[in-house]
Amino acid sequence: MTIKDTPEEWEIRATVTPFVGNKTSVRTDDVVMPDGTVVHRDYQVHPGSVAILALDEQDRVLLIKQYRHPVRQKLWEIPAGLLDIPGENPLHAAQRELYEEAHVKAEDWRVLTDVYTTPGGCSEAIRIFLARNLSEAEGQRFEVEDEEADMEHARVPLDDLVRGVLAGELHNNCLAVGVLALVAARHGDGVDALRPAEAPWPARPFES
């Protein structure tokens, strides 16, 4: 048996969108189960996101610390952002986010992993990139606002982040998944075996 996720879509008898926000919405679908019963499924409709594990030559990961109101915490995270331009190439979005949030550019990009954040209640799909060969970006820094205006920045050794994730001290999903995926890649076929930066992404098809 091949262990691989597969596309499938059950019949939807009716759908309503009781809430539409600035970037996301909430939808209720009446879904037909395999036994013929119809159930309500509420979920958040999300455009998708990209995240960047930016690794410098000293094996340190570039982090930002940002207030996240739903969980009432300031979390250490890797740079990330929404795919809020339909059909946008996720690599281009990731390069933009790395510039805007950290004023950094990278020469080497690879796909680290693709994940669904909360598939039981949200359609968000995230592509996490590994970015290496870092340097300071040119031009003026991007003007930040709202929660981003209070961001802190740090470069932290990869090994310290692994310990922090396993100790329950770091909780951001992209940080945890990205750090552990990088360690797994190094202990497996190596970083050079990772998918290229423009590898297909069925969850969020994009233009080249």
Asked if 201 contacts 184 with a C-beta cutoff of 8 angstroms, the reply is no
Radius of gyration, CA atoms only, the chain: 19
State yes or no: is 148 an active-site residue: yes
DSSP letter (8 states) at residue 3: -
Residue 179: enclosing H or E segment and its boundaries? helix 173-187
Exactly one of 107, 148, 152, 198 is catalytic; name it.
Answer: 148
d(CA 74, CA 92): 27
Residue 151, burial from CB neighbour count under 10 angstroms (0-12, 13-18, 19+): middle
Contact 43, 121 (CB under 8 A): yes
Q: Which residues are catalytic?
A: 148
